[in-house]
Amino acid sequence: MEDFVWLEEPLHKNGIKFNFMEEPAIVENLKISFDGAIMAVRRNAIEKHYEEQEVKMIRLGYKKPPSKMKVEDSDTLYKLLSYYVDLE
């Protein structure tokens, strides 16, 4: 369980148009509640996105977050989830 990072705010699967639930490789990297909310994600799945998107700088207010993100594949899903965690 140590390799999972809990989201600061759960993200419900209905808010994501990309049907990631049909892809076992993605689902095994997530902890999903009984009602379909993403609760946690594996650290190694989002770590590079967290750093590339400078999430820490966004949280500190030095950069602006993207206004919208279109989730179309696993890569963009992990990019979105990187905004919901704190790796510090």
pTM of the model: 0.89
Average pLDDT, the chain: 92
Angle at which helices 43-52 and 74-82 cross, to 10°: 70
DSSP letter at 24 equals H
Helix (H) or strand (E) holding 82: helix 74-82
What is the distance between the alpha carbons of residues 71 and 88, in angstroms, rounded to a whole number? 25
What is the distance between the alpha carbons of residues 33 and 16, in angstroms, rounded to a whole number? 15
Q: 73 with 34: CB under 8 angstroms? A: no
pLDDT of residue 68: 85
Tens-digit pLDDT profile for residues 40-83: 999 999 999 999 999 989 988 999 988 888 999 999 999 999 99
